[in-house]
């Protein structure tokens, strides 16, 4: 190949390399770009929803209300039906049960990740329990606790705790062995290594696992609140279903979605400020 051909190929390669790409692999976006694209995505979603409503036959429009109708129904619930009290009760059930699940899962997952005999003893039970549908425990929980808040919170705990243990186990095992070996060389005890080395190194990933699993807890909220419930978002939705008030049902779904987004923002903010060394990796 001649020098001219090589030079031409190099120049063509450089032009391709310099050409901006809209969809590059493994790149990050600025906060402004992320916000703009997020708003575009939300606008497209609600636009498609509105189009679907307009294309629905007039006699069936009540079964697919427009976004504005759903927002109006949510506003009416808040202003006239004391809906915020139901939101507060649902939030208590979600966060209370998730706190208990974390109290169980975090130390157990770290212990299993640090000590192979404990992992070998417990992991088969945890692995099997992950495949049991939490909703199948409803009859048993009703027998044990009756139609109480304890029954509903127990269902929410069962829905997330086994998965959370498995995730925290993986987070713990992902800690670099060099950190543990260095701590052992400096004479740290097993407790100090587990808490101050492994626990701290895995904490950003553990918080991220908690953020993902509380989203799963939200998916069980309506299931927990449709059985013998007098209050909560799920109970409001079930009462609306008896009278075919689809706008109210969708308003309840919207409320749960808003709660979930706010919860996710809180977890992200907490991780951002609690683990500043992890910000670059979060991107």
pLDDT at 251: 93
Average pLDDT (141-147) is 88
Number of CB atoms found within 10 A of residue 100's CB: 15
User: Tokens 């400096």, residue?
Assistant: 186
pLDDT surpassing 80 at residue 169: yes
If you average pLDDT over each of 17-26, 59-68, 246-255, which comes out highest?
A: 246-255
pLDDT at 42: 87
Q: Which of 77-91, 165-179, 208-222, 225-239 has the lowest mean pLDDT?
A: 225-239
Average pLDDT (107-129) is 91
pLDDT surpassing 90 at residue 93: yes
| pTM for this entry | 0.83
User: Tokens 């027998």, residue?
Assistant: 143
Residue with the bigger pLDDT between 204 and 181: it is 204
d(CA 98, CA 86): 18
Among the residues of the chain, which ranges form H helices?
A: 3-18, 31-55, 67-80, 83-114, 116-129, 138-145, 149-173, 177-185, 190-192, 200-219, 221-225, 233-242, 246-274, 279-282
Chain-centroid distance, C-alpha 28: 21
Per-residue pLDDT tens over the stretch 200-244: 899 999 999 999 999 999 989 888 888 777 888 988 998 888 888
Contacts of 280 (CB under 8 A, 6+ apart): none
Residue 175 φ/ψ, nearest 5 degrees: -65, 135
Are 248 and 81 a contacting pair, CB within 8 Å? Answer: no
User: Residue 146 — pLDDT band, cuts 50, 70, 90?
Assistant: confident
pLDDT at 147: 85
Are 173 and 123 a contacting pair, CB within 8 Å? Answer: no
Question: Would you say residue 11 lies in a domain?
Answer: no
pLDDT at 209: 94
Question: Would you say residue 220 lies in a domain?
Answer: yes
pLDDT surpassing 70 at residue 23: no
Contacts of 57 (CB under 8 A, 6+ apart): none
Residue 38 φ/ψ, nearest 5 degrees: -65, -40
Q: Cα dist. 159→165, 176, 226 in Å? A: 12, 30, 16
User: Residue 16 — pLDDT band, cuts 50, 70, 90?
Assistant: very low
Q: For residue 181, what is the domain's CATH number?
A: 1.10.3720.10
Residue 185 φ/ψ, nearest 5 degrees: -60, -35
User: Residue 25 — pLDDT band, cuts 50, 70, 90?
Assistant: low
Using alpha carbons, select from 109, 91, 83 the residue that is nearest to residue 194.
109
Question: Would you say residue 16 lies in a domain?
Answer: no
Mean pLDDT of the chain: 86
d(CA 239, CA 242): 5
Range of the domain at 253: 47-55+62-282
How many domains does the structure of the chain reveal? Answer: 1
pLDDT at 5: 55
pLDDT surpassing 70 at residue 198: yes
pLDDT surpassing 50 at residue 77: yes
Q: Cα dist. 208→212, 272, 275 in Å? A: 6, 11, 11
Using alpha carbons, select from 250, 263, 243 the residue that is nearest to residue 222.
250
Question: Would you say residue 274 lies in a domain?
Answer: yes
Are 156 and 99 a contacting pair, CB within 8 Å? Answer: no
Question: Would you say residue 171 lies in a domain?
Answer: yes
pLDDT at 62: 83
């Amino acid at each position: 190949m001649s020098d001219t051909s090589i030079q031409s190929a190099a120049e063509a390669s450089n032009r391709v390399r310099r050409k901006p790409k809209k969809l590059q692999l493994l790149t990050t976006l600025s906060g402004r770009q992320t916000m703009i694209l997020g708003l575009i995505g939300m606008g497209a979603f609600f636009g498609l929803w509105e189009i679907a409503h307009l294309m629905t036959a007039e006699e069936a429009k009540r079964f697919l209300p427009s976004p504005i109708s759903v927002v109006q129904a949510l506003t009416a619930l808040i202003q006239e039906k004391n809906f915020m009290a139901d939101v507060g009760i649902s939030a208590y059930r979600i966060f209370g049960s998730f706190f208990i699940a974390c109290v169980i899962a975090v130390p157990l997952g770290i212990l299993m990740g640090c000590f192979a005999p404990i992992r070998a003893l417990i992991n088969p039970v945890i692995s099997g329990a992950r495949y049991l549908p939490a909703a199948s425990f409803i009859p048993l929980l009703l027998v044990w606790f009756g139609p109480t808040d304890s029954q509903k919170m127990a269902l929410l705990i069962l829905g997330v705790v086994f998965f959370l243990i498995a995730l925290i186990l993986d987070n713990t095992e992902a800690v670099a062995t060099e950190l543990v070996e260095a701590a052992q060389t400096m004479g740290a005890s097993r407790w100090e290594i587990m808490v101050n080395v492994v626990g701290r190194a895995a904490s950003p990933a553990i918080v991220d696992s908690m953020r993902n699993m509380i989203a799963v807890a939200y998916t069980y909220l309506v299931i927990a609140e449709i059985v013998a419930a007098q209050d909560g978002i799920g109970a409001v939705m079930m009462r609306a279903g008896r009278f075919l008030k689809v706008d109210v049902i969708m308003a309840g779904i919207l409320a749960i979605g808003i709660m979930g987004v706010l919860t996710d923002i809180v977890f992200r903010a907490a991780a951002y400020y609690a683990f500043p060394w992890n910000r670059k990796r979060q991107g």
